[in-house]
Every structure is written in C-alpha cells, then in structure tokens.
Amino acid sequence: MAPLLADYRVTLVALSKDSPAQAAAQRQRDGLEFILLCDPDLAVIKRFGLLHEGALAFRTFLLGRARFPLGWPVGFKQMAIPTTLILDEDHVVRWIDQADDYRIRGDERRTRDALARVFGG
C-alpha cells in the first residue's frame, strides 16, 4: 500500500501494545519503514476504546529472536482491535474502519476507496 499512500501524501503511523524493544525487533525483521508507536500499558488504546480483552493467549517458543505460538491456548490477553483511521491535514478523523474480528486486518480496497472519498481522486 506504500505507493497508494504516497500518491495521497499520507503518512502511515501504527500503534501497538508492543514494547519499544519488541517494536524495534519487528521493524528490523519485517523491514518496516513507517512510524511505529508503542503503548505497552495500553493507555492510549484504552482511551480510544480500542481494547479487545478476550484474545486467546498461546504458549510460545523462542526461535532466534522471534516467538512462535504453540497449538494450545493458555488463557486470555488484552490487545488492540485492528482499526484504521484516516485523518485530514487538520487532524480531524474522516474515516474509521474497525474489524469485527481481532484477527482480521484492514482491507486495502476499502482504504483506497476511503482515501479517494476523503482526499478526492
């Protein structure tokens, strides 16, 4: 989606519950070039009503610096509900897309259509 965002001169900013160390590892592992903000205590996520409290937590094993889930759940965890916001140049929210299922991320087609509606084109 980077070319699409560049066409509209949009800056991508992501917020996650990861610690700065986890975010840095993910940035390096996945080659991320966008702004990645950290909210490990979930303060911002909670303030904006984006908290999902019933996500299954899985036992993990460490392979190198990456953690991988094993096949059985060991409880529940809190996480952010995947949400996409488009803000205009005055920082006014013009579009929100929020998943009903925390395992599903934003849809490129819906985002492209929303960018065209918000910014024209």
> Domains in the chain: how many in total?
1
**Residue 29 · residue 65 · CB < 8 Å:** yes
- For residue range 15-51, list pLDDT tens digits in order: 998 999 999 999 999 999 999 999 999 999 889 888 8
**Domain-located, residue 73:** no
Task: Residue 22: give its domain's CATH number.
Answer: 3.40.30.10
Predicted confidence band of residue 13 (pLDDT cuts 50, 70, 90): very high
**Domain-located, residue 62:** no
Alpha helix (H) residue ranges in the chain: 2-7, 20-30, 43-47, 108-119
**Domain-located, residue 94:** yes
Does residue 56 carry a pLDDT above 60? no
Q: Tell me which residue range forms the domain holding 34.
A: 2-52+81-114
Predicted confidence band of residue 71 (pLDDT cuts 50, 70, 90): low
**Domain-located, residue 120:** no
Does residue 64 carry a pLDDT above 90? no
**Domain-located, residue 74:** no
Find the mean pLDDT for residues 58-63.
62
